[in-house]
A = this chain, B = another copy of it.
């Protein structure tokens, strides 16, 4: 399945998900409806300008990413899988950033609770660790729990253990995964795929 097929499939899927008719999309992208139809069906090898116009009209963004980072990315977006979502790195960083913010906020609101300061300290240590794919689940869980803890201090203990779980997940990440994560973004002459 070539890149063109995948792109056209994505365009169609997103357009329908947005509830747009071909005509509406065409107008928004500044091209005839017939062209949208051909692109979606007839495997048109469209030009970059057309692609970016359509992408813009659909609220999508075109990105070039190192191939090795793509597989891990698919797990991040989940529900609305469009093509090959590839901003995992951003997601991870956002996660870490959010975690730090949440931990700080909780520590501020519960300065007397030792769990809160433990959480803060743990999370700050986490920022030094490389994030692995297998830890993304623990990451999400920790974020969710910390988030709800802001409004419900009774969950402090639960939050602490979720952060500990995340720390352990990162600390004990499989060596293969780490090696893979640090693999050359574009290896010197790979005939893979």
A10, CB-defined interface residue at 8 Å:
yes
B61 x A182 contact (CB < 8 A): no
A77, CB-defined interface residue at 8 Å:
yes
Which stretch of A106-114, A142-150, A156-164, A168-176 is in the interface?
A: A168-176
A151, CB-defined interface residue at 8 Å:
no
Specify how many copies of this chain sit in the oligomer: 2
B64 x A82 contact (CB < 8 A): yes
* Binary per-residue interface labels of chain A (64-86) against chain B in the complex, 1 for a CB within 8 Å, 0 otherwise: 11111111110001001011111
Q: Which residues of B contact A96 (CB under 8 A)?
A: 178-179, 182
Most buried by B among A10, A55, A128: A128
Which 5 pairs of residues, A with B, have the shortest CB-CB distance? A59-B186, A96-B182, A63-B86, A3-B52, A90-B185
Q: A10-B64, A45-B48 are in contact. List 20 more A-B contacts (CB 8 A).
A: A2-B52, A18-B186, A45-B49, A47-B48, A56-B191, A58-B186, A59-B187, A62-B62, A63-B86, A63-B185, A65-B85, A65-B86, A66-B86, A66-B185, A69-B87, A72-B93, A90-B186, A96-B182, A127-B181, A128-B173
